[in-house]
Homo-oligomer: A and B are copies of this chain.
Amino acid sequence: MTRPVKRPTSSDVARAAGVSQTTVSFVLNNKPGQSIPEETRRRVLEAARRLDYRPHSSARALAAGRSDTVLLSVPDLPIGQSISRFVEELAAALAEHGLTLVTHLEGAHGRSLPDVCAAIGASAVLGLEVFDPDTVRSLHRAGADVVLPAHPTDGVSVTAPVGRLQAEHLIGRGHRRLGYALPSEPGLLPMAQGRLQGVTDACQAAGVEPPLALSPGMEVDSAARAVARWAEESVTGVCAFHDEIAIAVLAGMRVHGLTAPADLAVIGSDDITTARLAFPPLTTVTFDLREAAARRAEAIVAAFAGTRPEPSADTEGTPRIVLRSST
């Protein structure tokens, strides 16, 4: 359980390879502008491999003045596997640039994000939504070189256009009065505001009334009340913040003997696994997370290099509507 062995240092590798420690550093970091003969390089790499050498991250960070660690802050809770997949892709994309991603779950009780950032010596901090200026400042003081997104143009949330797409889908199907199902967790509200705004925009563009936003909650009863309310207001289509809430709406409809999409069309977001298994199956909006993740990774690497990433027209990944019912 406790480790008695001392791990090899770069000097150990140097000794084993019969070169200086400096040379080891050059070889292992592929230092440009150095002319290391193939033979020497080989010897060093071989020795490193044999000793199972790994650079001591703290020592490296201390000397270099920056770490290779990227911290991702993930909001309160279960955002479905859509986000999980995003994290995975992001980690992979960053790994290709030699960066390591770890995640901090924003919780009520944990430490603050700047604390965590300082504690692990992250040199970049990522979020899903734009950080407010105060947080950005704190993070910088905590040692973060890069904070993203710090500005709405930084290639914002994975989530922004979701609402618009949901609404356009329903409006395209002839719905003229929409509802919006908000999450109850306060932590998700900022993100929800963004998505709701998208719905509102789409409604305005189509010349239909703005959506009636309610919080159906995650209980059958509360959801049933929301459904009743929407029915009173002649709402015929509901956009849900994410699939879990959409499923709650479906459950609420069951209470009233309503069926989707005939009585009320419901569209979710994130394409969680259980959405596919809901009855009736849910219509969902989702993104190509691979793309989005890759772009984010580029933005980070570019920010490190001081180069601002070229502002691509669509920083959001390729949206995709996944239809599973005939909503």
Which residues of A does B touch, CB under 8 Å? 1-3, 5, 7, 52, 54-59, 61-62, 67-69, 71, 77-78, 80-81, 84, 87-89, 91-92, 95, 100-105, 107-111, 115-116, 118-121, 140-148, 150-151, 154, 218-220, 223, 244, 247-248, 250-251, 254, 272-274, 276-279, 303, 306, 308
* Chain B residues, CB < 8 A from A5: 140-141
A247 in complex: contacting residue of B54, B154, B274, CB < 8 Å: B274
A-B complex: 4 closest residue pairs judged by Cβ atoms:
A92-B109, A88-B107, A100-B119, A58-B61
CB-based contact B109/A95 at 8 Å: yes
Query: What is the bound-complex CA distance between A308 and B55, given in angstroms?
Result: 30
A243 vs chain B, min Cβ distance (A): 8
25 contacts between A and B (CB under 8 A): A1-B154, A1-B308, A7-B141, A7-B143, A54-B143, A56-B143, A57-B121, A58-B58, A58-B61, A69-B119, A71-B102, A84-B105, A88-B108, A88-B109, A91-B109, A92-B107, A92-B110, A95-B109, A103-B103, A218-B276, A248-B277, A254-B279, A272-B274, A274-B274, A279-B279
Residues of B within 8 A of A148 (CB): 1
Q: How long is the Cα–Cα vector from A151 to B2 in the complex, in angstroms? A: 12
Contacts of A218 in B (CB 8 A): 273, 276-277
Select A141's contact among B52, B77, B274, B303, beta carbons within 8 Å: B52
Beyond A62-B62, A78-B273, A277-B220, is A110–B84 a contact (Cβ under 8 Å)?
no
User: How far apart sit A102 and B303, CA to CA, in the bound complex (Å)?
Assistant: 23
CA distance A67 to B121 in the complex (A): 11
Interfacial chain B residues near A223, Cβ < 8 Å: 277
Nearest CB of B to A111, in Å: 5
- A95: chain B residues at CB < 8 Å are 109-111
Residue of B nearest to A99 (CB): B119
Contacts of A105 in B (CB 8 A): 84, 87-88, 91, 103
Known: A220-B277, A273-B218. A109 touches B121 (CB 8 A): no
Residue of B nearest to A151 (CB): B1
Q: How far is the CA of A116 from the CA of B122 in the complex (A)?
A: 13
- 11 additional contacts, CB 8 Å, given A7-B141, A69-B119, A218-B276? A2-B146, A52-B141, A54-B118, A57-B119, A58-B58, A71-B102, A78-B84, A100-B111, A103-B105, A220-B277, A248-B277
Measured between beta carbons, the chain B residues less than 8 angstroms from A80 are: 78
Residues of B within 8 A of A220 (CB): 276-277
Pairwise interchain contact B77-A84, C-beta atoms closer than 8 A: yes
What is the chain B residue whose CB lies nearest that of A88?
A: B107
